[in-house]
Structure 1
């Protein structure tokens, strides 16, 4: 009986589960930048309303705040890249932020051309898009790491 115990191989230890990299610090940074971007973006219609109410100095503040909004979307794009590349997060926030940056530049052009009939509703659309993006960053799906696609083997 002791010979049998000596000849049997020890049971293999179960493999430790692979640690999946999840976006933690980069998600916190993305949340902070998204909220700040949303707040300065929300200030835009407030300043426009003050201007339309008769305070003509608010138009200069509206323009200055538009520059801050542009800086914030650039920061959001950079943090989205870090979130995806460094943190293992989803890729689509990069494309969203890039598209939003381009659309915000279009929005500024509409404002400078005084095309208010397009500038106002387009601004509302962009504000809502940023609101939904910011909301997404606080949801459970933002915490989930990106699943890498399996590479296809080439046939020889």
Structure 2
């Protein structure tokens, strides 16, 4: 493998790490919610604080997915799905703060499903060793 091929692989590794962090934090949110619902009222503050962490992680994941798209010639849909996750988590926070659990809990399941799908894809997708050559306006590979 050439040095150029290796230079385009690092975004994929970063995306995998960040996607796993998003999924693990989503699981932590569910655990905190479950423990709060069973009576440990002090965990509501942890759940609310961790929502901010999850929100930040989804923004980072979106940025990394865009780097994968741009630098490593990856597909666009993971960046779009990550952006959707940003919106879902923001809506989730709003519903939680408003105590609208009828929407908050199902939306949490959607966040978990989307995060799981992104992790699955990140670990099963096999990027090419080097990105395809970029063609100039004259049809010649650069």
Q: TM-score, normalised by structure 1?
A: 0.76
Residue in structure 2 matched with residue 130 of structure 1 by the alignment:
115
Residue in structure 1 matched with residue 139 of structure 2 by the alignment:
none
Aligned Cα root-mean-square deviation (Å): 2.4
Q: TM-score, normalised by structure 2?
A: 0.83
Gaps of 5+ in 1: 1-18, 152-156
Q: CA deviation at 1:66?
A: 0.4
The structure 1 segments of at least 4 consecutive aligned residues displaced by more than 2 Å after TM superposition are 19-23, 144-151
Residue in structure 2 matched with residue 154 of structure 1 by the alignment:
none
Q: What pairs with 1:1-156 in structure 2 (closer than 5 Å)?
A: 23-139=8-124, 141-144=125-128
1:67 to 1:126, Cα distance in 2 relative to 1, 3 A = same
For these two proteins, the number of residue pairs brought into alignment is 134
Give the greater-gyration-radius structure (CA).
Answer: 1
d(CA) in 1 for partners of 2:88, 2:132? 29
